[in-house]
Amino acid sequence: MDMIKIAFFDAKDYDIESFNRSNTSNDVSISFFETRLTEDTVKLAHGFDVVCIFVNDLVSEKVIDGLVDAGVKLIALRCAGYNNVDIKYAYGKIHIVRVPAYSPYAVAEHAAALLLTSVRRIHKAYNRTKDFNFSLSGMTGFDLHGKTVGIVGTGKIGRIFIDICKGFGMNVIAYDKFPAKDSGIEYVELEELWKRSDIISFHCPLTDENKHMVNAQSIDMMKKGVVLINTSRGALIDSAALLEGIKERKIGAACLDVYEEESNVFFHDFSGHIVDDDTLVRLISMPNVIVTSHQAFLTNEALSNIADTTIGNVKEFFTNEYSANEVCYMCDKVGSCPQAHGGKCF
């Protein structure tokens, strides 16, 4: 087999370290680029067999055409979600593989960490005691025990978060378009989940159907003081509506690891610069909002699994002309892919 050449976009130090550690073969070569994959940077892919991308790389129609013209045969997502890829346009032109599960525990545990930090004011206590301020004024939280948590999305991450919540003695209800059979989970419709939940946590992929599922109308149905946790995809929540809900004291707290306009902000250091996104700036300024920069996945175990699976996907694709982790437009239409999946999707 000839050397497989991978153009790795949006590379961070932790990516480079984990992929170099995982790539022990002599038949895969990785070139790391700091820039994201966009219409302006797609020309960097010339001469490569594969592009490896993350959640904020943009794979539009023009990017897909550019990759095809460059001779790229495979898009290797080093993440589970693929809402940033136009999979419909890619069908029949270029193959796509992903990492379906790298560490569901990492994401679920981060959601729990955000929740505990918020409701017990741990972030505020940390800042205060750094200044030797040991006052407890304004630090009152609430018990999780006995509260009702609504889980939107009951895949691996959602079910692990459910187990964590049950460990705290919380009452769990859930919504999923495709409920898990024989799971013992109490499934309800979204409207009921909005109305009953003290805490709502999102663990579902982003689709055209559920974009801005949290909006002015759904917020109006929620309990006063509800806590929202999003470690999934930013555009599940209408940020402007979220801000209004916080200002109106309807939303008690928001814990956000993702943000719908994060692509030009997250993963970068803006500490010495002005951030142009007024909504994000106002959200961060709110005392009951915690924002982390898409770091829920970031554990040693997850990084290792991402690297191993991504390189495995690439080698499997070129060696066997097949990858079990391929995704395509027809597969995304729930089982209607014309292939028997003993081979490529097209």
Annotate 35-88 with three-state secondary structure: CCCCCCCHHHHCCCCEEEECCCCCECHHHHHHHHHCCCCEEEECCCCCCCECHH
Q: Which of 85, 101, 97, 49 is nearest to 70 (CA)?
A: 49
Share of the chain above pLDDT 90, in %: 84
Q: What is the mean pLDDT of residues 13-17?
A: 96
Q: What is the mean pLDDT of residues 73-89?
A: 93
Confidence of residue 1 (pLDDT cuts 50, 70, 90): low
Cα–Cα dist 100/103, whole Å: 10
Q: What is the mean pLDDT of residues 174-197?
A: 96
Q: Which of 129, 110, 42 is nearest to 295 (CA)?
A: 110
pLDDT digits (tens, 9 = 90+) for 94-125: 999 999 888 899 999 999 999 999 999 999 99
Computed over every residue of the chain, the mean pLDDT equals 94
Query: What's the whole-model pTM score?
Result: 0.89
Q: Which of 184, 182, 164 is nearest to 174 (CA)?
A: 184
Phi-psi region of 335 (alpha: psi -120 to 50; beta: other; left: phi over 0): left
Active site residues: 233, 262, 294
Predicted local distance difference test score (pLDDT) of residue 341: 59
- The enclosing H or E element of 174 equals strand 171-175
Burial of 130 (0-12, 13-18, 19+ CB in 10 A): exposed
Q: Residue 336: pLDDT above 60?
A: no
Cα–Cα dist 266/258, whole Å: 9
Confidence of residue 266 (pLDDT cuts 50, 70, 90): very high
Confidence of residue 340 (pLDDT cuts 50, 70, 90): low
